[in-house]
Amino acid sequence: MTSAIRTFGNRPCALTVCRGCCCGDVRKHPGTDHAGQLARLREAAARSGGRLAVRTSDCLGPCGQANVVVVQPSTEGRRRGGRAAWVGWALDDDSTDEILAWVAAGGPGIAKPPATLELQFFPAPVESRTAKKR
Ligand code: FES
């Protein structure tokens, strides 16, 4: 579900928030306010004036890194070389704060991610499979 208005021909930075079998599951990660995290991200999108979109997805695959959030660049960010960043272990308020700070600054291709958030990046599952075949 997308909770922000898209600007035609100029897609905003977008967060894909995994909410499959493990991400967002209180039995797997009981110490995390999963609903609160998603609410904060959606509120930020609603306040962004169309510069941020948030959607949820079913399992993206790398359940061992739950909660997974994929930060996708805006059209401008992609034009400047930004690529999707897969963030794993997004279980605490610090992770959510840093994701929101990064996308508020422009996200991939526009702004450098917070150094501590960068430590949570991992290769996209397709890239991992491709790298293993080499
Ligand atoms: S449930 Fe999120 S990666 Fe599987």
The CA distance from 71 to 87, in Å, is 7
Per-residue pLDDT of the chain (134 residues; tens, 9 = 90+): 444 444 446 999 999 999 999 999 999 999 999 999 999 999 999 999 999 999 999 999 999 999 999 999 999 999 999 999 999 999 999 999 999 999 999 999 999 999 999 999 999 997 655 555 55
Burial class of residue 26, CB neighbours in 10 A (0-12, 13-18, 19+)? exposed
Q: What is the pLDDT of residue 126?
A: 78
How far does the centroid of ligand 1 lie from the alpha carbon of residue 86, in Å? 12
User: Residue ranges per domain, the chain?
Assistant: 13-133
- The CATH number of the domain covering residues in 13-133: 3.40.30.10
What single-letter DSSP state applies at residue 133?
H
Select from 84, 82, 15 the least CA-distant residue to 52.
Answer: 15
Q: What is the pLDDT of residue 123?
A: 96
How far does the centroid of ligand 1 lie from the alpha carbon of residue 116, in Å? 22
The CA distance from 129 to 62, in Å, is 12
Read off the pTM: 0.89
Q: What is the pLDDT of residue 7?
A: 47
Cis upstream peptide for 67 (omega within 30°): yes
Q: What is the pLDDT of residue 2?
A: 47
Pocket test for ligand 1, best of 34, 37, 60 (most atoms within 8 A of CB): 60
How far does the centroid of ligand 1 lie from the alpha carbon of residue 68, in Å? 7
